[in-house]
Amino acid sequence: MHTLNQHYFKDFKPLLTVHSPGRINFIGEHTDYNNGFVLPTAIDRTISFKFRKNDTSSTCNIYSKSYNAFLQVDLTHVRPSENEWENYVLGVIHELLLRDASLEGFDCIIESELPIGAGISSSAALECGMAIGLNILFNLKQPLEELILLSRDAEHRFVGTNCGIMDQFAVVMSKKNHVLLLDCKSLDYELIPVDISPYKILLLNTNVSHNLATSEYNKRREECELGVQVIQQKHTEVQSLRDVTLAMLESVKEELNITTYKRCRYVISENARVLKAVQELKNGNLEAFGDLMYLSHEGLQNLYNVSCDELDFLVDYSREHEHIVGSRMMGGGFGGCTINIIHESAVEAYTKTVSEAYKNHFKRELTAIVVNPSQGTFIKN
């Protein structure tokens, strides 16, 4: 092994270039690991991966342009690292090896257009781009669904977030100008055409990412599982919150502590909202769709308790603007972005006023990006 530096990657001639997008989620938050419904899609911002083989049996040289950092991996000794970004890459390699993939040495340059910690899943983009790239480079013949699942497993094992399947699925399976209604129980999905013009999708990044995120995320998952265990005592057929109705939940309310009750109530209601939102979208009723987004936020804020002051501020601020039909926090929570459906004529002025208000209040910059529903991970040299 040699010491990696920029020089090694000079005049890099890739054999393969993969682009892996971030994702948004219109509605259906924290439902995926409860076997529920989600409505995400990929966006037109990606992480790119340039790959080449390097004729060694087990040395992989990776350069992250965004971090200006190098990572060397010995395929015979893949272990978690102290650096979080490295764990996404190492985790995927590890999962592929667990599945007996015949990997050999390779070089890779990674470059990202995705803000980190913004709730648009730069992590899944990184995992899936790596998994799909290596699958092609070494002709591993793993089906897409397996690559999605192993990317999620990489996050569980090497990063420590017990995430659901939404992000990886959306990053890989999305289609331009469509949203993806995913049933996280069966992994059946429907690609629904979406044309919301003259409205736009505006993401407002709080630029905060509270360190609670991972521990509280895993805690929510445990709280939901606890709820299921209690409900199962009376309703033995129940396997996850997906199978629970509000009436069933009420029937065991006495046996649940208030926190568990609130978590379960949120998830059950959110699942119903996703299905309703899909109907409204198909009927072209964007106002009603937007109202459901607001209700989703309220649930995340008050019942699921994964929002934060910055996100609540942005959602509340949007309520006073008639050009915005819906707004909510997006992703795991405790920071990251809000997603806003806003009339195109108002994007510029609104971005300016909300940024000023945010800065006055939190002494912090807000970052705005307009995104479009786009295709999942793709190859383009």
Q: Which is nearer to ligand GLA, 137 or 330 (CB)?
A: 330
- Minimum CB separation of residue 317 from ligand GLA in Å reads 23
- Minimum CB separation of residue 76 from ligand GLA in Å reads 30
Cis bond before residue 198 (omega within 30° of 0):
yes
CA dihedral of residues 121, 126, 129, 131 (deg, nearest 10): -110
What lies within 8 Å, CB to CB, of 372 at 6+ separation is 43, 44, 177, 201
- Minimum CB separation of residue 344 from ligand GLA in Å reads 27
Q: Does position 331 bind ligand GLA by CB under 6 A?
A: yes
Contact with ligand GLA (CB under 6 A): which of 9, 19, 27, 30? 30
The whole-angstrom separation of Cα 70 and Cα 77 is 17
Q: Which is nearer to ligand GLA, 30 or 263 (CB)?
A: 30
- Minimum CB separation of residue 70 from ligand GLA in Å reads 27
Count Cβ atoms below 10 Å from residue 38 Cβ, excluding itself.
29
Q: Does position 29 bind ligand GLA by CB under 6 A?
A: yes
Q: Which is nearer to ligand GLA, 115 or 164 (CB)?
A: 164
- Minimum CB separation of residue 40 from ligand GLA in Å reads 9
The DSSP line for 7-72 is GGGTT---SEEEEEEEEEESS--S-GGGT-EE-EEEEEEEEEEEEEE-S-SSEEEEEETTTTEEEE
The whole-angstrom separation of Cα 210 and Cα 192 is 34
Tokens 């999942």 sit on residue: 376
Find the part of the chain contacting ligand GLA (CB under 6 A) among 109-117, 159-167, 338-346, 351-359: 159-167
- Minimum CB separation of residue 296 from ligand GLA in Å reads 10
- Fill in the DSSP letter of residue 100: T
- Map the footprint of ligand GLA across residues 220-249, applying CB under 6 A: none
Count Cβ atoms below 10 Å from residue 190 Cβ, excluding itself.
12
Q: Does position 125 bind ligand GLA by CB under 6 A?
A: no
Contact with ligand GLA (CB under 6 A): which of 299, 332, 335, 373? 332
Q: Does position 21 bind ligand GLA by CB under 6 A?
A: no
Q: Which is nearer to ligand GLA, 50 or 265 (CB)?
A: 265
The whole-angstrom separation of Cα 186 and Cα 296 is 23
Q: Which is nearer to ligand GLA, 61 or 377 (CB)?
A: 377
Find the part of the chain contacting ligand GLA (CB under 6 A) among 161-169, 232-240, 267-275, 361-369: 161-169
Active-site entry in 74, 153, 167, 243: 167
Q: How far is CA 147 from the centre of its chain?
A: 16
Q: Write out the two tokens for 227.
A: 């709820």
316 is catalytic: no
Q: Does position 166 bind ligand GLA by CB under 6 A?
A: yes
Q: Write out the two tokens for 257.
A: 């502590």
- Map the footprint of ligand GLA across residues 275-314, applying CB under 6 A: none
- Fill in the DSSP letter of residue 255: G
Contact with ligand GLA (CB under 6 A): which of 127, 167, 270, 310? 167
Q: Which is nearer to ligand GLA, 37 or 350 (CB)?
A: 37
Q: Which is nearer to ligand GLA, 33 or 51 (CB)?
A: 33
Q: Write the burial class of residue 164 (CB in 10 Å: 0-12 exposed, 13-18 middle, 19+ buried).
A: buried
User: Where does 79-139 show beta strands of DSSP type E?
Assistant: 106-112
Q: Does position 164 bind ligand GLA by CB under 6 A?
A: yes
Q: Does position 37 bind ligand GLA by CB under 6 A?
A: no
What lies within 8 Å, CB to CB, of 7 at 6+ separation is none
Q: Does position 163 bind ligand GLA by CB under 6 A?
A: yes
Summarize as ranges the residues that interact with ligand GLA (CB under 6 A). 29-30, 32-33, 121, 163-164, 166-167, 331-332
Residue numbers annotated as active site: 167
